[in-house]
Amino acid sequence: MTEQRMTEQRMTEQRSQLLGLTGFILAGFVFIAVGIRSGDVLTVVGSVLWIVSCVIWLVPLLRSPRL
């Protein structure tokens, strides 16, 4: 495999991870809205923890050098 192909593959993988994490974060906001609407504090707290965890997971991806 050529170096250029490997670089393209890493970029594609990084984009996929960013897209997936963005979806997870958006889902967390939806669950927060559902928890607030139903008055379920546990759902809201769990959703906030979910979003915080996803953001922590996202930070290294955003800090990694662009290939």
DSSP one-letter string for 5-65: HHHHHHHHHHHHHHHHHHHHHHHHHHHHHHHHHHT-HHHHHHHHHHHHHHHHHHHHHHHSP
CA atoms of 10 and 57, how far apart (whole Å) = 17
When pLDDT is cut at 50, 70 and 90, the band that residue 3 belongs to is confident
Instruction: Note the pTM of the prediction, 2 decimals.
Output: 0.80
Return the pLDDT at 10: 81
In the predicted structure, residue 67 carries a pLDDT above the cut 60? no
